[in-house]
Amino acid sequence: MNSVHDKIISLRESLHKYNRAYYIENNPTISDETFDKLMRELVELENQHPEFADINSPTQRVGSDLSGGFSQYKHNFPMLSLDNTYSVEEILNWHTRISRNIGSEITYTCELKFDGTSISLTYEHGRLLRAVTRGDGEVGDDVTNNVRTINSIPLVLQGDELPELFDIRGEIFMSYATFDSLNQERAEAGLPLWANPRNSAAGSLKLLDSKETAKRNLEAYLYAFYSAEPPKGSHYNNLMTLRNMGFRISEHTKRCRNINEVVAFIEFWTEERHKLNFPIDGIVIKVDDVALQNELGNTAKSPRWAVAYKFQAEQVKTRLPAVTFQVGRTGAVTPVANLEPVLLAGTTVKRASLHNADIIAALDLHLNDMVMVEKGGEIIPKIVGVDMDFRDKSAKKVEFITHCPECGSLLVRTEGETAFYCPNETFCPPQIKGKIEHFIGRKAMNIENIGPETVDLLFSKNMLNNIADLYDLDYLQLSMLDGLGPKSAANIMQSLENSKKAGFDRVLFALGIRYVGSTVAQKLAKAFRNIEALASASVEQLIVVDEIGQRIAESVVAWFSKETNKTIIARLAKAGVKFELNARETLSSKLAGKTIVISGSFEQHTRDDYKNMIETHGGKNSGSISKSTSFLLGGSNIGPSKLEKIKKLGIPIVSETEFLNLINDETF
């Protein structure tokens, strides 16, 4: 290898290949460590040589925070939809209709109907050029930057006989596991939950910040090919060719030699779909012979050569004897339907979430109603309707409560919010216990040996009324409690001691400030470095921080302004809980609030040294230029695209010497 450029190209090729093996072929060929090592090597080289930048490099999957709405793009081929049916009989009728003038059996390709959001990708010379959402079928949103972050979408194709320019379509979706953990994070941050993985996938694809999309773990399967020179032969074989180019084609796609095999495929997946780790809502049946597809043609809305069989959402009817109300740690009150136990999609359902007052009103629920319970894409069953034939004339309407069921406080509802809250943060038992349990949790202070039962016990003995009380617990007192004993007491004391060393970001998350989930806590900890700085920050100072918006900022300020919280912080600090970032020491706050991008090659210090200097002087180092960049710390050979961007946004360049003067100037 004779040049850096060759080295970069070769690293990119290898990483594309390993990515393909991992995300598309489900067959990793190297260890994660080796992969990471090569990736770091490439990142380093690309940083040192911005002139060799390439948007399709494997390093670019992380997304960029350059944003500003989406531009509209007209599809090269309109995006049709499919005729739907819920009955096998109609599938048979469709088959009879299209086979009328054909002497032989029709071969079909059956595919899963992925329950996500459709996407049209354009490739030119084997490289991803553009990604557009369905939109109205004619014109969609250009979401290329977001789609680039999806690992199962190839940026660069493999093979020698690639068509010069073509479109490929497929579905972007979210696995159940990702959906669950995303919602858990949202619950922790007090944000509204996504209803199902489909909405969550669609929402994540339309985020304005592709760095955020990158975190959402979206996936994709591809299923249709379009080009000026239309494909020939068998749809199934064409899919296999696409797979060889590097596209992710579902391994469940099956060629069926006759309609009976199609019916068997439908029956198989009606049961088997529960074992998939991502949602599907039906089966798509396509005529396999492309020539026959063309002969059958399309109507204005949908092709005549394909049809979708949709699964019935699984639904059962049961009685609703009661609605209870639960108070969470944030004080949010959630109505819960208590149902007569009933079997639904393999599990016994006893309760269903009613979400909020608006939903109860919309359903016009009465006690003892026969309600329809459904399990769709979402995991928690929901009530979708009432069978009025069973409604008793004297039935009592379900009303949302006005007072907290736990402490009797009058509930409040803030403008623009759907939830009612119990405002009695300090004395309402489930809020107290919930806050303590949150503080103890694995992602928070990770205090082992204290579970919800112990919290209950200590609360009932009046030994634990807030998080600061935890560190006043006393070994002797604990060891004398029924059900604990000396061994448990010693373990608890040890876990409490260990927890004091938890990092500042964890402590911040553990405090349970509304909207401060673990990601936000990390950002705040990094930006403010200690609790004093954070506690005295104004809304304006807070919103300067990456990802902190008005709502979070207001919530943080409100939390720190409460006397009870100030006392708790003081007590925790006295007990030895770490309230500052334990990484590097801060030398000054000369660069506080500044977001700085480093670019080019330097003479006096290395790039990493400069990164350190920025952070130790309170600034933030960022990899990409955006409106919020304060200045560019520029060496020689700044890449032309970076130069253009900063010119466009009017961002100043600060030289190495100017930067060093700035941070070393004592009078500054």
Q: Which residues are registered as beta bridge partners of 96?
A: none
- Termini Cα distance of the chain: 48
User: Phi, psi at residue 374, to the nearest 5°?
Assistant: -130, 145
| Annotated catalytic residue within 7, 17, 113, 206 | 113
Q: Which is nearer to ligand IVH, 80 or 165 (CB)?
A: 80
Q: Which of 224, 365, 371, 553 binds ligand IVH (CB under 6 A)?
A: 224
Q: Binding segment for ligand IVH among 78-86, 537-545, 549-557, 586-594 (CB under 6 A)?
A: 78-86
Q: Which of 245, 218, 193 is nearest to 119 (CA)?
A: 218
Is the dihedral angle over the CA atoms 163, 166, 170, 175 positive or is it negative?
positive
User: Is residue 309 a contact point for ligand IVH (CB under 6 A)?
Assistant: no
Q: How far apart are CA 364 and CA 360, in angstroms?
A: 6
Q: Does 242 bind ligand IVH (CB under 6 A)?
A: no
Strands (E), 60-116: 72-74, 84-85, 108-114
Give Cβ neighbours of residue 318 (< 8 Å, ≥ 6 apart): 339, 340, 341, 342, 349, 370, 371, 373
Candidate residues 18, 73, 114, 421; the one interacting with ligand IVH per rule CB under 6 A: 114
- Asked if 118 interacts with ligand IVH (CB under 6 A), we say yes
Q: Smaller CB distance to ligand IVH: residue 246 or 279?
A: 279
Q: Does 80 bind ligand IVH (CB under 6 A)?
A: yes
| Distant-in-sequence, close-in-space partners of 361: CB < 8 Å, separation ≥ 6 | none
Contact 167, 255 (CB under 8 A): no
Whole-number minimum distance, CB 656 to ligand IVH, in Å?
52
Distance of CA 80 to CAs 169, 249, 296, Å? 11, 20, 15
308 makes contact with ligand IVH (CB under 6 A): yes
Q: Tell me the closest approach of the beta carbon of residue 256 to ligand IVH, in angstroms.
A: 14
Q: Which two tokens stand for residue 399?
A: 């009303």
Nearer to ligand IVH, 131 or 447 (CB): 131
What is the closest distance, in whole angstroms, from the C-beta atom of residue 81 to ligand IVH in the complex?
4
Q: Is 262 in the site for ligand IVH (CB under 6 A)?
A: no
Q: What is the DSSP string of 194-253?
A: PSSHHHHHHHHHT-S-HHHHHTT--EEEEEEEE-SS---SBHHHHHHHHHHHT----TT-
CA–CA distances in Å: residue 607 to residues 3, 63, 268, 641: 21, 21, 57, 20
Q: How far is the CB of 141 from ligand IVH (least distance, A)?
A: 15
Q: Within positions 531 to 570, which residues make up the interface with ligand IVH, using CB under 6 A?
A: none
Q: Which stretch binds ligand IVH (CB under 6 A): 80-88, 207-215, 227-235, 483-491?
A: 80-88
Rounded-to-integer distance, Cα 224 and Cα 79, Å: 11
Report residue 633: phi and psi, to 5°. -85, 105
Which of 82, 524, 531, 596 contacts ligand IVH by CB under 6 A? 82
Count of residues making up the chain: 668
Q: Give the burial string for 218-247 (b: 16+ CB within 10 Å, else e).
A: bbbbbbbbbbeeebeebbbebbeebbebbb
Q: Report the nearest approach of ligand IVH to the CB of residue 221 (Å).
A: 7
In the complex with ligand IVH, which residue's Cβ is closer, 223 or 236? Answer: 223
Q: Which stretch binds ligand IVH (CB under 6 A): 300-308, 371-379, 463-471, 476-484?
A: 300-308
What is the number of the residue whose Cβ is closest to ligand IVH? 118
Strands (E), 474-610: 595-599
Asked whether the beta carbons of 296 and 287 are under 8 A apart, the reply is yes
644 contact partners, CB below 8 Å, separation of at least 6: none
- Least separation in angstroms between residue 521's CB and ligand IVH is 37
Distance (Å, whole) CA 378 – CA 227: 37
Q: Which stretch binds ligand IVH (CB under 6 A): 9-17, 77-85, 397-405, 518-526?
A: 77-85
Residue 105 CB, shortest distance to ligand IVH, in Å, is 22
Size of the site for ligand IVH (CB under 6 A): 14
Q: Assess 143 for contact with ligand IVH (CB under 6 A).
A: no
- Candidate residues 155, 205, 214, 306; the one interacting with ligand IVH per rule CB under 6 A: 306
Stretch in the footprint of ligand IVH (CB under 6 A) among 106-114, 266-274, 376-384, 519-527: 106-114
Least separation in angstroms between residue 113's CB and ligand IVH is 4
CB of 428 vs ligand IVH, minimal distance in Å: 46
Q: Is 113 in the site for ligand IVH (CB under 6 A)?
A: yes
Is residue 113 flagged as an active site residue? Answer: yes
Which one of residues 46, 65, 111, 188 is an interface residue with ligand IVH (CB under 6 A)?
111
Residue 120 or 217: which CB sits closer to ligand IVH?
120
> In terms of CB distance, is 80 or 473 closer to ligand IVH?
80
Q: Minimum distance from CB of 270 to ligand IVH (Å)?
A: 16
Looking at the Cβ atoms of 111 and 374, the one nearer to ligand IVH is 111
Binding of ligand IVH by 278 (CB under 6 A): no
Residues 158-187 that bind ligand IVH (CB under 6 A): 171
Binders of ligand IVH among 280-299, rule CB under 6 A?
A: 284
* Spatial distance between the Cα atoms of 447 and 439, rounded to a whole number of angstroms: 8
| CA atoms 499, 507, 440, 462: torsion sign | positive
**Binding interface with ligand IVH (CB under 6 A):** 80-82, 111, 113-114, 118, 171, 223-224, 284, 303, 306, 308
* Active-site residue set: 113
